[in-house]
Amino acid sequence: MQSSDTGPSPSLLPEAEALWSVAHALADVARPVTLAHFRSSALDVDNKIADGFDPVTQGDRQAEAAMRELIESLRPDDAILGEEFGAKPGTSGLTWILDPIDGTRAYLSGTPTWGVLIALSDSSGPRLGIIDQPFIGERFAGGLGTAVADGPQGPSRMTTRATQTLEDAILFTTFPEVGTPDERTAFEAVAEKVKLTRYGMDCYAYALLATGQIDLVIEAGLQAYDICAPIAVIEAAGGVVTNWEGGSVAAGGRALAAANPQIHAAALDFLRQVP
């Protein structure tokens, strides 16, 4: 799903265009694999942990395997970090970061809020990212000169909202419990101030933020493959993504994604007090 007039600027370097070509190819190869198992009675679900429930399906494993195979074919010198098959070293200074199905709980429940996350990072952090929702047919791509959403309504440039106060903000998180008791208390302090709080959207919430539908996403306990693609997408659309101290969250941890610096600062005042 390449963009046209809403895609990369004319000044975009040929290298960036080549990287975007690979990124879209990865999303394209993952789509049919994930859809083959979505809402299927034959879906196999395994639990990764003994204490609790951290599901993985054949859709997760097969989609990541397909993307890794394509990277190794097209860009063999790049490193790879994936949720299901770990890290593969590289020599180019670039790393593809893959979450084949972000929101496996939604996936196995038949809810179309899961997505395929693809990011390309260097030593400074994510350079580009894709949030792809195969069932709806939506793709959100940001970084290296582009900030484009494409789907059933056609392509459009992504721009975040200009909301200035928490009282006017819409806030999302995936799990009501958020993280530790202290982290949940901090989240609830923000939630008490905003106009509307919603739950359970997984990576789709970050896409909604990038497209100007909501103002804040607050999460904890993330891994790099959960957040690197959303960082690139949201920053390209004009938003801000940090940890709860205001620093980089590219390695995972506690994430605060905001539509603009003002609403980010307002939420950060509550979150940075957590020990």
What local confidence, expressed as pLDDT, does residue 21 receive?
96
Say if residue 146 is in the same domain as residue 171: no
Say if residue 137 is in the same domain as residue 250: no
pTM (predicted TM-score): 0.92
Per-residue pLDDT at 15 exceeds 70? yes
pLDDT tier at 252 (50, 70, 90 boundaries)? very high
* Mean pLDDT, residues 238-250 taken together: 98
What local confidence, expressed as pLDDT, does residue 273 receive?
86
**d(Cα 132, Cα 149) in Å, to the nearest integer?**
10
What local confidence, expressed as pLDDT, does residue 12 receive?
41
What local confidence, expressed as pLDDT, does residue 42 receive?
81
What local confidence, expressed as pLDDT, does residue 52 receive?
79
**d(Cα 182, Cα 179) in Å, to the nearest integer?**
8
What local confidence, expressed as pLDDT, does residue 43 receive?
86
**How many domains, in total, are found in the chain?**
2
Say if residue 150 is in the same domain as residue 54: yes
**d(Cα 273, Cα 275) in Å, to the nearest integer?**
6
Say if residue 31 is in the same domain as residue 149: yes
Q: What's the domain range around 233?
A: 166-271
* Mean pLDDT, residues 70-83 taken together: 98
What digits encode the pLDDT tens for the residues 133-158? 999 999 999 999 999 999 999 999 99
Say if residue 71 is in the same domain as residue 136: yes
The sign of the CA dihedral 146, 82, 203, 193 is: negative
DSSP secondary structure of 58-121 = HHHHHHHHHHHHHHHHH-TTSEEEETTTEEE--SSS-EEEEEEEE-HHHHHHT-TT-EEEEEEE
Chain-centroid distance, C-alpha 135:
16
Say if residue 195 is in the same domain as residue 250: yes
Say if residue 146 is in the same domain as residue 250: no
Say if residue 150 is in the same domain as residue 172: no
> 258 forms bridges with which residues in the sheet?
216, 240
> Last residue of some domain: 157, 187, 220?
157
Long-range (24+ apart) CB contacts under 8 A made by 189-194 are 189/270, 190/166, 190/216, 190/218, 190/267, 190/270, 190/271, 193/166, 193/167, 193/169, 193/270, 194/166, 194/167, 194/169, 194/170
Q: Look at 207 and 54; give whichever has higher pLDDT.
A: 207
> Last residue of some domain: 101, 132, 157?
157
